[in-house]
């Protein structure tokens, strides 16, 4: 069949948008290992998880059997406000690279949160509302997840308490103000509002905070305030379930035009975007219906998959969340301060970790200067100024397209463009001024992180 002429951007009709999320774990032969209670080292029960998370989300977290889960009507209505996101044919980039490769990207940045995080935020807010809760708590670093959650809570008239790492609260006031526009209360962490916050302030009076501390404050507030639960923007399997909307839309759009990608590339921090993008394609691979090459791209400064260990570890530096079996650098591992490109999470979603362990997924790491070079090149020819995180995938896509130029292969590449970099201009400024450097952890650096991993057989 002759291919239809492919437009620059493929937008699905509303009627073509997915009505179900795809739960890739249902098709995995080797299931991801269960979350463990850090006290008992037994698998977390629904009841235990329900003290921290919403009931319906707990059910999704534990569901390894249903391949499809209906997207509630209210969430689908919200999706229609900013979705379908475009599947873009990168004609200009192809021309600039002079490559025979065909490059596509799924662009998730055309919404005020600036990224794909909104896909899960709205689902989590919906289930919280449905359960009759008053509000939710979360932590945020630079603010991408906090922004998405604020938007979602505003839509469902839920209270949203965000603990923002103090240094970001003070030095990156723009995202804070976006969150306030959506009615969230944003508290610099550590704060006087929690027991753990007060302790830390007493012990370290001048501290500028950390993500671990913000998580601890958010969890404490959720578990000690009537009608509140804690929500998380990545790492968990429920988040990957919601994010499958990215891959499903991509697949529907590609099928419509008879396009089959040879290679699917996503950046990987906690795994929410990568897992969502590849989900339905991985499903075909798991069921033996088709084959694809999947590539996870991570920063060389925080190489969870490429240099991490596949073991049980704490999900948070505060060690208050359940233990997960995953590729990890140790919850105490912190990338060098000169790392500007996001994706600084020490671990990786458990399902993706299992897929990587099973050889279903490749991983590679890239250095940040080359990531920003790719970002700038992409911005100039494709018109979109990408988030540093997304630019890891751009780097790998460009590298693959250049390989095709050498070999003459006409590969079809799909990558995830998770978001825009409008709130990351400080990092771009460093890059423009030649002040950006690369950092690769030494074996000693890694050993320190590994030392903090609990010994669980």
Binding site for a second copy (CB under 8 A): 7-9, 11, 13-14, 78, 80-82, 92, 110-112, 114, 151, 154-155, 173-174, 177-178, 180-183, 376, 379-385, 420, 422-423, 425-426, 428-429, 432
Which of the 8 DSSP states describes residue 159? Answer: E
- Residue closer to a second copy (CB basis): 174 or 204: 174
Q: Which of 344, 343, 307 is nearest to 327 (CA)?
A: 307
In angstroms, what is the C-alpha Rg of the chain? Answer: 21
- Residue closer to a second copy (CB basis): 4 or 31: 4
- Residue closer to a second copy (CB basis): 85 or 216: 85
CB of 182 to a second copy, least distance (A): 6
- Residue closer to a second copy (CB basis): 78 or 230: 78
Main-chain dihedrals φ then ψ at residue 68, nearest 5 degrees = -125, 135
CA–CA gap between residue 267 and residue 275 (Å, rounded): 10
Supply 277's token pair. Answer: 């993008």
- Residue closer to a second copy (CB basis): 155 or 314: 155
Supply 403's token pair. Answer: 């390989």
CB of 204 to a second copy, least distance (A): 28
Please classify residue 3 by burial: count the beta carbons closer than 10 Å to its beta carbon, then call 0-12 exposed, 13-18 middle and 19+ buried.
Answer: exposed
CB of 425 to a second copy, least distance (A): 4
- Residue closer to a second copy (CB basis): 19 or 380: 380
Residue pair 299/319 in contact (Cβ under 8 Å)? The answer is no
CB of 393 to a second copy, least distance (A): 18
Residue pair 249/106 in contact (Cβ under 8 Å)? The answer is yes
Strand order in the sheet with 87-89: 9-10, 87-89, 102-107, 412-417, 263-267, 293-299, 362-366
- Residue closer to a second copy (CB basis): 17 or 167: 17
CB of 113 to a second copy, least distance (A): 9
Supply 118's token pair. Answer: 């909104």
Q: Which of 320, 238, 229, 280 is nearest to 32 (CA)?
A: 238
Residue pair 395/377 in contact (Cβ under 8 Å)? The answer is no
CB of 114 to a second copy, least distance (A): 8
CB of 228 to a second copy, least distance (A): 21
CB of 140 to a second copy, least distance (A): 15
- Residue closer to a second copy (CB basis): 173 or 258: 173
CA distances from 189 to 139, 153, 175, 216 (A): 9, 21, 15, 10
Pairing of strands 135-140, 228-230: parallel
């Amino acid at each position: 069949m002759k291919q239809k002429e492919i437009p620059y951007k493929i937008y699905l009709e509303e009627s073509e948008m997915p009505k179900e999320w795809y739960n890739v774990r249902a098709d995995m032969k080797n299931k991801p290992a269960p979350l463990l209670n850090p006290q008992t080292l037994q698998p977390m029960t629904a009841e235990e998880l329900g003290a921290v998370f919403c009931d319906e989300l707990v059910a999704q977290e534990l569901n390894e059997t249903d391949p499809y889960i209906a997207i509630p009507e209210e969430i689908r209505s919200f999706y229609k406000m900013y979705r379908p996101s475009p599947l873009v044919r990168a004609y200009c980039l192809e021309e600039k690279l002079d490559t025979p490769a065909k490059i596509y990207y799924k662009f998730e940045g055309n919404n005020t949160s600036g990224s794909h995080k909104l896909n899960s935020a709205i689902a989590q807010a919906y289930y919280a509302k449905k359960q009759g809760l008053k509000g939710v708590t979360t932590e945020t670093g630079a603010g991408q997840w906090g922004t998405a959650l604020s938007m979602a809570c505003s839509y469902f008239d839920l209270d949203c308490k965000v603990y923002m790492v103090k240094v970001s609260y003070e030095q990156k006031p723009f995202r804070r103000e976006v969150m306030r526009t959506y009615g969230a209360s944003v508290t610099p962490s550590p704060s006087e509002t929690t027991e753990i916050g007060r302790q830390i302030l007493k012990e370290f009076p001048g501290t500028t905070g950390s993500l671990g501390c913000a998580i601890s404050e958010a969890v404490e507030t959720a578990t000690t305030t009537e009608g509140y639960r804690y929500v998380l923007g990545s790492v968990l399997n429920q988040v990957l379930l919601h994010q499958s909307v990215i891959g499903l839309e991509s697949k529907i759009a590609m099928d419509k035009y008879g396009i089959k990608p040879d290679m699917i590339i996503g950046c990987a921090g906690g795994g929410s975007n990568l897992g969502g993008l590849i989900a339905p394609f991985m499903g075909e691979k798991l069921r033996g219906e088709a084959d694809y090459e999947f590539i996870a791209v991570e920063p060389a400064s925080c190489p969870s998959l490429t240099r991490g260990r596949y073991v049980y570890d704490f999900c948070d530096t505060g060690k208050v969340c359940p233990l997960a079996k995953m590729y990890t650098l140790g919850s105490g591992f912190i990338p060098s301060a000169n790392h500007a490109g996001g994706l600084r999470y020490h671990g990786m979603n458990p399902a993706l970790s299992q897929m990587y362990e099973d050889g279903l997924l490749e991983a590679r790491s890239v250095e940040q200067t080359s990531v920003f070079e790719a970002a700038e090149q992409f911005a100039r020819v494709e018109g979109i100024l990408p988030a540093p995180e997304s630019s890891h995938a751009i780097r790998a896509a460009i590298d693959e397209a250049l390989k095709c130029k050498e070999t003459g292969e006409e590969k079809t590449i799909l990558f995830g463009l998770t978001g825009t970099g409008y709130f990351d201009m400080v990092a771009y400024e460093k890059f423009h001024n030649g002040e950006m450097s690369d950092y690769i952890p030494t074996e000693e650096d890694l050993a320190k992180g590994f030392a903090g991993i609990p010994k669980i057989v």
